[in-house]
Each structure stands twice: as C-alpha cells, then as structure tokens.
Amino acid sequence: MQELDGNTVMENQPQNKPEEEEQIEGLDPEIGSWGDYPLDDLLIRHENRTIHDVIRRIEQENYIMDPDFQRDFIWEEDKQSKLIESVIMRIPLPVFYMAEDDEGRMVVVDGLQRLSTFRRFVNDDLRLKLPDRSELNGKRFSDLSSKIQNRIEDCNLIFYIIDSNVPERARLDIFERVNGGVPLTRQQMRNCLFMGPATRFLKDESITNIFLKATDYSLKTTTMRDREFVNRFCAFQILGVENYRGDMDDFLANGLRKMNKIGKEEPSRLSLLSSEFRRGLSNNLILFGRQSFRKYKPEYERRSVLNASFWDVMSTSFSHYEEEHLQTHSEAVRSSILELFKNEEFNTAITYGPNDSNKVRARFRMVQEKLEEIFGDYAN
C-alpha cells in the first residue's frame, strides 16, 4: 500500500480547469424558494453611517473586509478616484449590503470595492487620478482642504443589514440576489459568514495529500466545492445524523458554528476531528482506491462521478475504524458495501432528493448495518 502523508500539500498536480463543468452526483440543486419565507420575518434593517464611522469600525475589525469569497481588490485607480469625486460632488451612492454574523460583526456582502476605496483614500494610500480636475488630480486625502476632508468623512452611506437570526437558507438566498459581483456558491457564502477556526479547518484539510488523493482532484477550489465536502464530513461527524432535519444549508452552518465554538474553547478537539477525517479518507482509499465515494457496478464502462451523499456516509462511517482492524476484514467490508449498489432503496437514497431527512437516515442506517454485521459493536 502506498503511504499517504495527510499533512503534505500536493503541488504540481493536475487540477480542474475553471471552464470545465464540475460533475458531482448526490447534491440537491442550490435553488432558493422565496415562497417559503414569511413576508414579515426576514429581519433586514437599514442604517445610515458616515464614512468616518465606517472606517473606524473597519479598523476595529467590526466589519469583515477580506473574507475568502470576496475577490481581490481589483478596481483601477481611476475608478476609485471617480468614486471619491462622486462623494465630493455629493452624488448619491448605491446602498451597501451587510450580513451580521453570530458575534455581531458585519460581513460585507456587496460594496467591498467601495468601502476599500474609502479606506485607502482616507489612509493616504490612494492618489487621485482625475486629470480633468486640476484641483483634485494627484492629491491624497491629507492634501485636501479641511472643508473637503470633512465632506468626505461626513458623507452618509446607507447599509442594509441581514440579521443573524434570519434562517440560514434565506440568508444565502439574499446573498445570491444582492451580490453585485460574480455569483457566489453557497459554500463561499458560508465561508464568509462563519470565518474563524471552522473555515480555517476546511481550508487546511482541503489541500492535504490524503484529501486530494481520495477525491482524485475532482473538486473545484474556485467554487470551494472541496471545502464543502470537508464541511459535510464535519457536520455529520460532530452533530450526528440524528440531528439532521432536512435542511442541508442549516445543517452545514450549524456544523461550522459548533466548530468555531470548539476551536475557541477546546482546540484539541479540532485536531482530533482532523485525525478522524484523514482516517476515514485513508480507509476508503485502502478499500476502494480511485472508486472511493463513487457508485460502482461491474457493468459500468467508465468510473462514475463523485457522489456527495455517498461521501457523507462513507467518510464518517469509516473514520471510526483503525486501519489495521479494517484491513483484517477488508474483503468482507468491500463486498458488503458494493452489495448496497444492488439495493434500490440505497441507490435512491444517494441519488434522488438526497437531502430529504428520511433518505439521509436511510443511507446511514444501511451502511451501519453492513458494518455491524462484520465488526459488531467495535468502533473507535
């Protein structure tokens, strides 16, 4: 067996090209249904704040300006300069959208470029490029008269704030509607809303040798699909399938909340979670190699795509067995799991409407029954 170093980051390996369509099975489509939300319960409020007040809050890290999902600061300096010119001319600006996280901080949903421009200019990191305005061209904030400085700092900005108590699916649907840049995936939004030990854990685990090998480089990093798979393992591992209620967005978010709490109070538990995760991946590789987390039938001419629902149950279930103990029964385990693909109920549970709570519990139950037939009550 090839030795796997879970701590090693894979380099110079084939990666998915951005233009390639990502092929994954066992996922429900990420489509919001606004008809399910009570009209008066979305809890979106608006506030007016001056540029001076906003910059102060940014410096105090009460506004989250650099989440992973946000694109790099890409506005050209002439565009930044025109924004400052608009403020000086008192031209009304578009509203800003923020999301309140569980700690009361404000996450920038839409308006990062504008807020970053204000911060850069007031901190003297931007020299205006306005060749048609000689009185402003080439000037930094400190070069302006007190009158113009005050006008900039006193400019009122309108913020619409998504309350932290808004249901998780609603928050993500609102993100999709208001974000003015390239459409974000659900995982990119979760990465923004739950920044902390949890999101660092997802990032670190998604670039290890063992994860890349187990998923065979099939998950895109640009959409954070790789981190979503890690997120799914963590949620089922620490919350338990018995606490799944049919809403995957809410379940994955609750997993991240729990991980952030653990990371602050008992960081050693995240180290244990990492060990469990890598053990589950290693055990799947031992048994199934490149077929790991994919449907398998002898009549398949080609290897099937990754199945997210099969991943959930296999990554967690096999994390509870030591490699040596598993190898002793490897043939029996392999045959038993492959036998499940002949079961219509199991195939349905990992393919059609897989986020339904009954189907989630069914696939976990069937795999657990197979393992108990072989191992009895043994598990770590």
Are residues 100 and 248 located together in one domain of the fold? no
CA distances (Å), origin 264, targets 62, 105, 164, 267, 318: 18, 17, 20, 6, 27
Are residues 367 and 282 located together in one domain of the fold? yes
pLDDT digits (tens, 9 = 90+) for 170-182: 778 877 777 665 6
Whether 122 shows a pLDDT value over 50: the answer reads yes
Are residues 322 and 210 located together in one domain of the fold? yes
Q: What is the mean pLDDT of residues 331-351?
A: 94
Residue 8 domain-assigned (yes or no): no
Rounded Cα–Cα distance for residues 41 and 163 (Å):
10
- Cα within 13 Å of Cα(219), Cβ side: 23
Instruction: Spell out the residues 6+ positions from residue 23 whose beta carbon is closer than 8 angstroms to its own.
Output: 218, 305, 306
Residue 362 domain-assigned (yes or no): yes
Are residues 156 and 304 located together in one domain of the fold? no
pLDDT value for 36: 60
pLDDT value for 5: 42
Whether 14 shows a pLDDT value over 50: the answer reads no
Q: What is the mean pLDDT of residues 59-77?
A: 74
DSSP letter for 76, please.
-
Task: Indicate the residue among 171, 193, 214 that finishes a domain.
Answer: 171
Q: Is there a contact between 137 and 128 (Cβ–Cβ < 8 Å)?
A: yes
- What is the radius of gyration, based on Cα positions, of the chain? 25
Q: Is there a contact between 4 and 213 (Cβ–Cβ < 8 Å)?
A: yes
Are residues 113 and 214 located together in one domain of the fold? no
Domain span at 362: 24-30+201-375
Are residues 206 and 166 located together in one domain of the fold? no
Q: Is there a contact between 131 and 137 (Cβ–Cβ < 8 Å)?
A: yes
Please give the residue that has the higher pLDDT: either 72 or 48: 48
Are residues 271 and 137 located together in one domain of the fold? no
The least confident of 55-69, 264-278, 345-359 is 55-69
Overall number of domains in the chain: 2
Residue 61 domain-assigned (yes or no): yes
Whether 16 shows a pLDDT value over 50: the answer reads no
Helix (H, G, I), strand (E, B), or coil: what is residue 78? Answer: helix
Longest dimension (CA), the chain: 82
Query: β-strand 156-162 against 306-307: which pairing, if any?
Result: unpaired
Residue 191 domain-assigned (yes or no): no
DSSP letter for 17, please.
-
Q: What is the mean pLDDT of residues 161-176?
A: 81
Residue 192 domain-assigned (yes or no): no
Helix (H, G, I), strand (E, B), or coil: what is residue 49? Answer: strand
